[in-house]
Amino acid sequence: MFNLILFGPPGSGKGTQSDKLVGKYGLIHLSTGNLLREEIAEKTPLGIEAKSLMDKGQLVPDEVVIGMIDSSLEHHKDAKGFLFDGFPRTIAQARALDKLLELKKTGINTVISLDVGEEELIQRLLNRGKTSGRSDDTDEIVIRKRFAVYNNETTPVAEYYKKARKFQSVKGEGTVDEIFETLCRVMDKKMKQ
């Protein structure tokens, strides 16, 4: 199995690059953002609770997203690997993921972080907001709140994987194809190790 975490701030291109990477490497794409938006679209109790938090730029409780990942892993027992996109976002989520993978006798192979400057991120998210209908992308105050949450709660996750010597950063600015090429170079190297 090969398990990758694509890491980075909101709007850094995790979703965009994940779609391309899973096509090339045959991994199962697990995006907690997408899973939550599906719950919202179906108006489930979980979705209704998640929407009120996401609209304010806050994180959904750890136990909710960990539960979603647990059932997705169970659902794809024969996968040759997973690409985790937007998860883990807290230390508690990172620890829970390690435990879940350990139970399946596997682990995280590598974490690749997309580095993008804050002003570029804001422009990307506001642009997406014009067409996506995502309420967390239309208001600059909410976007800035998401960055604050990222800096406070998610950047410690980078330290967690740095300590485990699994963390690597790549430049996340440039065209989508240029960034994809860089990611593929890193992936090809890691898969040979």
- Of 9 and 110, the one with the shorter C-beta distance to ligand B4P is 9
- The tokens describing 73, both together, are 């892993």
> For residue 183, with 0-12 CB atoms within 10 Å meaning exposed, 13-18 middle and 19 or more buried, which class applies?
buried
Contacts of 58 (CB under 8 A, 6+ apart): 145, 149
Stretches 21-29, 87-95, 163-171, 184-192: which one binds ligand B4P (CB under 6 A)? 87-95
Q: Does 13 bind ligand B4P (CB under 6 A)?
A: yes
AA letter at 86: G
Min dist CB 82 to ligand B4P, Å, is 14
Q: Which two tokens stand for residue 147?
A: 């960055």
Task: State the Cα–Cα distance between residues 56 and 99, nearest whole angstrom.
Answer: 30
Closest residue by beta carbon to ligand B4P: 33
111 binds ligand B4P (CB under 6 A): no
Q: Kindly tell me the sign of the dihedral angle through the C-alpha atoms of 120, 148, 161, 78.
A: negative
Q: What angle, 0 to 180 degrees and rounded to 10, lies between the N-to-C axes of helices 91-103 and 62-75?
A: 20
12 near ligand B4P, judged by CB under 6 A: yes
- What's the longest Cα–Cα distance across the chain? 44
Q: Minimum distance between the CB of residue 192 and ligand B4P, rounded to whole angstroms? A: 26
Q: Is residue 86 a contact point for ligand B4P (CB under 6 A)?
A: yes
Q: Residue 44 or residue 127: which is nearer to ligand B4P going by CB? A: 127
Report if residue 47 touches ligand B4P, rule: CB under 6 A: no
Interface contacts to ligand B4P, rule CB under 6 A = 8, 10-16, 32-33, 36, 53-54, 59-60, 65, 86-87, 89, 93, 124, 127-128, 136, 146, 175-176, 179
